[in-house]
Structure 1
Amino acid sequence: MTTARDINFDVAPQAEELREAMVAELRDLGAIQSEQVAAAIGTVPRHLFAPGKPLEKAYAANSAVVTKRDENGVAISSLSATHIQAVMLEQAQIEPGMRVLEIGSGGYNAALIAELVGTAGQVTSVDIDSDIVTRAKECLAAADYDQVNVVLADAENGVPDRAPFDRVIVTAGAWDIPPAWSDQLTEHGRIIVPFRMRGLTRTVVFERVGDHLVSRDYRLCGFVPMQGSGAHSERRVPLDGDEVVLRVDEELAVDEELAVDAGRLQEALLMPRVMRWSGVEFDQVDELDFWIGTHAPAFGLLTAQDGPIERGLVGPSAKRGVPTLVRGGSFAYRTKRPIEGTETFETGVYAHGPEAEAVAKEYVELLRTWDRDHRRGPGARIEAYPAGTPISILPQGCVVDKQHTRVVISWPRPQAS
C-alpha cells in the first residue's frame, strides 16, 4: 500500500533496515504477536511521521517522539513509542474491512490501522488540536495514506457522522469513558483505552456487556493526558516544596481518618521513618502496584526529585512515583532490598508519621495478601458502569467514581486446579 518509503532516496535504504530491526526487537519483547501487526509495522515509514528527527530516534522501539509542548514545556502531544502501539494493536485484534476510530492523532498509528483494515476498511482519526490535525494530514499524505479521514473535534463526543465503529482506539491518557465512545461502538466492538484509575494508567480492552463495559485485557502504559472536556487534573500535595509531592487522582473519602491533610503529611515526612519487610519477592511489580492502588482506602503516588532522594529524605522508589497508602497524618510506600546470596529483591515498606507502625503493618499485609492470593491469579477485572448506577447492584470491588462512569475493579482468585 505504501510508496512513501522511496520519497527520500538518501535515507530510504537505511530506514528500511532500521524498520526491519525494530520489528525484530518488538517480536523479541513480545509486543508483536501476529504476522498482521508485524507486516503493518514493517511497511509504514515511521520516519515520515517524525520529520527532522534522526532515523535512529524514529525507529527506536521504546522511544516516543514529542510533537508539541505547551507554554511550560510540558509535552501535550507525541508520537507514541512503537512498543506500546504494537501492544494496543494486538489488543484490538483488527481485521480487514473494519471501521476504526482513533482518538488522538499523530498519523503513524492511523497508518498502521489503515494497513490492518485494508482497502475495504475505514479509519477515522480525531484530535482537538488544529496544529496536530494539520501535521497528521501532512504526514499521512507524505506517506500515501490519504484514505485516513482526520477530523478536528473534541473526542468526548466521538465522531457520530462516521459511526458505528468496530474498534475505538484511544491514544491519549483518559480519566473517564464518555458515553459517545460506547454508543458509537458496534455490538461486538472493542474500546482500547489508556485508562487512569487512582493515578495508575493501564491500556484496557473493553467490550460491552449489557449496559456496561467489561475488561478483557490490560497492560501497563503511559500517555500524554487527554485534552478538552475529557481532561482531568490530579491534585498535587506538596510535602517538601515541589521536590516531594503526593499526587492524588480521584477524590478521597470524606472520613477524617482517611482525608489527605497536607500540613500533617509535611510534618510526617520529617519524622524518623519506620522500615518493615514483607518476605515478598520484588517482581511482577506493575501488577503488585495495581493491587495496592485498588486496596488502599486512601491512596496516592509519592514522587520525588533527585535532591531529597540523595539526602535520604525519601527512598529511591519515589523517583518515578510509588504507590502510597495514606491514613490521616501518616503514610507508607513501597521499597526493596537485595536478598543475600541471590539476584532477587525483597519488597518492604517505609512509613512516616505518628501512626507509622500501623500504616506500615497495613501495607505489609496488603503485600502478603497479594503474594498469597493473587500472584498467580488472572489479574484484575475492570468494569465501567454508567454514573449513578446504585451501589447495591455493583459487583464487589474497589469502586472509583468518575463523571460518566462508576468503575469497579475486582480481583478474582486463581481457579483451583
Structure 2
Amino acid sequence: MGQTPTAADLRNRLVDKIRLDGRLTDEVERVMRTVPREAFLPGIGLEEAYTDQAVSIKDNPLGGPLPLSCASVPSLVGMMLGQLDVQPGNNILEIGAGTGYNAALLAELASEKGNVTSIDIDSDVALHARTALDRAGYQRVHVMERDGLIGAPENAPYDRMLAAVGLWDVPAAWWEQLAEGGRLVLPLRWRGQTRAVALIRHGDALVSDGMELCGFVPIIGQDGEKATALNASDTIRVFHDEDQPVDSGALGESLNTTTGIEVMSEQRISGEESFDGVWLRATASDDRVCRLQVMPEAMAQELVLRPAVPVRSPVLIDGDSLAYLIVRREGVDPQRPHQLGAAAYGPHAEKLAQDLIAHIEDWGTARTAVPRLTVTPASADAADGPGHVISKVESRLTLTY
C-alpha cells in the first residue's frame, strides 16, 4: 500500500501536468511549485486543491449562475502569468483579489525588490485574501477593498497590471496607471467570446502581444453585454453587445415557423482540434457576430438543430434571421472526421449561412493565426488605417489580421 501523497507531491504532479501543454515559462513553473495553493483554499481537501479546476469561494448574492469570486483554473493562471512576463522589481497591480493565491505567485515573481497591490470590490473577498496571504507569509502584498474599475492610483505607475476578472471594456482610469512600455493582461470580452489578451502600452495605444481563449467571472459595474431570450421558456438565448440590435420577437418567430437549413464548409477537424478561431476570425470583420446559448431542455426538445457547442457557439444575426456554427461527423477522412458548417433559420437563412461559411473558410487558411488588437481611448480621435473597429463606452478596439 503506497504512502498518502503530501501537498508538495500533489502540487508537483499538477504542475507536471500543466507543463505538458508548453505554456508555462520556467519562472512561472518555479513559483507554482513554491506557493501552497491549499493555504488559500481553507476547507478544501488537498486532492481538490490540486486538481486543474476552478473553486468557488463566494456565491453570487444576486443568485446568478456564476460565483462572485473563485480560485481560477491553475493552468489558466499559469498561462496568464506567462503572458504578464513579470520581472524582479516590478510594481504590479492585480484587479480581483480572489483567494490571494495569484497575488502570492506575483509576489514570488516580483521578488522582495518588487511590489504587489491586489484589490477587490467585495469586503469579504478582500479579507479572505488578506488573511490567507498573511498566513502563508506574504505580508508584503498590499490588499485593498476597492472598485476594480477605478484601480489603485496611489501606488501607480505599474509595470504590470493583471485582471483576474472578465472585462467588457478597458476602464479609462487604468490608462494613466500603466507605465509606458508596461504590460496589461486581462480577459477581454467582445462579440460574445473572451480572450486573455496581453497588451503593451505605447503612448495612447495598447497593442496586443498574444491572446488565448479563456473564461472568467465578469467584473462588477460593466453591463455592455446583453442577454436576450428567443423563446418563452428562456432556454434559447443570444448574448450580444449593446451596439448590436437583436429583435427577439422576429428571431423567435423564425425559429418557430421556419425549417432550419444546413450548409457545410470544406473545413474538417480532428476530435481534439480547437475551432474557436472561427469565432475570433469572424469578429475581425463582421459586426453581426454574437453568442448563442441553447440550454439542455431546448436540446432535449429538439427545438433547434444542434450547435457546435450548445452553451456557447458563434451566431450571425441579421434582423429576423440567424446562422450559427455546427459540427457534423462525416467519415471520409479518418484523421479529420468532423466537418464544420452552418445551421440557419429565417427568410435570409441561405445568405447568412453562406456568410458564416466564408468566415469558416477564412479561418481554414491559417487556423492558428490571431489578429493584432489595438486598444485606444474612446475619447481619442479615431485613427485612419487598416483593421476592423469595435467601439465601446471607454475604449475602441481595432482588430487586424
CA contact (8 A) 2:371 2:400 kept: yes
Provide TM-score, normalisation by structure 1.
0.89
Partner Cα distance (1:193, 1:395) in 2:
25
Calculate percent identity across the aligned residue pairs.
35
Aligned residue type for 1:40: V
Aligned partner (choices 172, 185, 200) of residue 179 of structure 1: 172
Q: Are residue 96 (structure 1) and residue 100 (structure 2) matched?
A: no
Partner Cα distance (2:74, 2:385) in 1:
36
Alignment partner of 1:151: what SS?
Answer: strand
Aligned residue type for 1:396: P
306 and 13 in structure 1: CA distance in 2 versus 1, 3 angstrom threshold: closer
The Cα shift of 1:277 comes to 0.5
Aligned partner (choices 8, 13, 18) of residue 21 of structure 1: 13
The Cα shift of 1:13 comes to 5.9
Partner Cα distance (2:96, 2:89) in 1:
22
Partner Cα distance (1:152, 1:207) in 2:
27
The Cα shift of 1:152 comes to 1.0
Partner Cα distance (2:34, 2:9) in 1:
11
Q: Deviations over 1:216-253 (max 9, x none)?
A: 1111111100014xx2252222112311111112412x
The Cα shift of 1:318 comes to 4.5
Partner Cα distance (2:359, 2:119) in 1:
41
Provide TM-score, normalisation by structure 2.
0.92
Aligned partner (choices 39, 44, 49) of residue 48 of structure 1: 39
Partner Cα distance (2:75, 2:130) in 1:
23
Q: Are residue 264 (structure 1) and residue 255 (structure 2) matched?
A: no
Q: Are residue 383 (structure 1) and residue 371 (structure 2) matched?
A: no
Q: Are residue 333 (structure 1) and residue 324 (structure 2) matched?
A: yes
Aligned residue type for 1:409: L
Partner Cα distance (1:250, 1:169) in 2:
26
Q: Are residue 125 (structure 1) and residue 118 (structure 2) matched?
A: yes
Aligned partner (choices 187, 196, 199) of residue 192 of structure 2: 199
Partner Cα distance (2:114, 2:173) in 1:
21
Q: Are residue 165 (structure 1) and residue 158 (structure 2) matched?
A: yes
Partner Cα distance (2:289, 2:331) in 1:
32
Aligned residue type for 2:77: Q
Aligned partner (choices 70, 85, 92) of residue 78 of structure 1: 70
The Cα shift of 1:292 comes to 1.9
Q: Are residue 353 (structure 1) and residue 343 (structure 2) matched?
A: no
Partner Cα distance (2:224, 2:10) in 1:
38
CA contact (8 A) 2:323 2:345 kept: yes
Alignment of 1:185-334 (within 5 A): 185-228=178-221, 231-240=222-231, 241-252=233-244, 259-270=245-256, 271-282=258-269, 283-314=273-304, 315-334=306-325
Give the CA RMSD over aligned residues. 1.8
12 and 382 in structure 1: CA distance in 2 versus 1, 3 angstrom threshold: farther
Structure with a larger share of its residues in helix: 1
Alignment partner of 2:113: what SS?
Answer: coil
Aligned to 1:255: none
199 and 250 in structure 1: CA distance in 2 versus 1, 3 angstrom threshold: farther
Aligned residue type for 1:277: M
Alignment partner of 1:41: what SS?
Answer: helix
Partner Cα distance (2:145, 2:325) in 1:
43
Aligned to 2:26: 35
The Cα shift of 1:187 comes to 1.9
CA contact (8 A) 2:307 2:325 kept: no
The Cα shift of 1:289 comes to 1.4
The Cα shift of 1:195 comes to 0.7
Alignment partner of 1:224: what SS?
Answer: coil
The alignment of Structure 1 onto Structure 2 pairs a total of residues equal to: 388
Segments of 5+ residues of structure 2 without an aligned counterpart are none
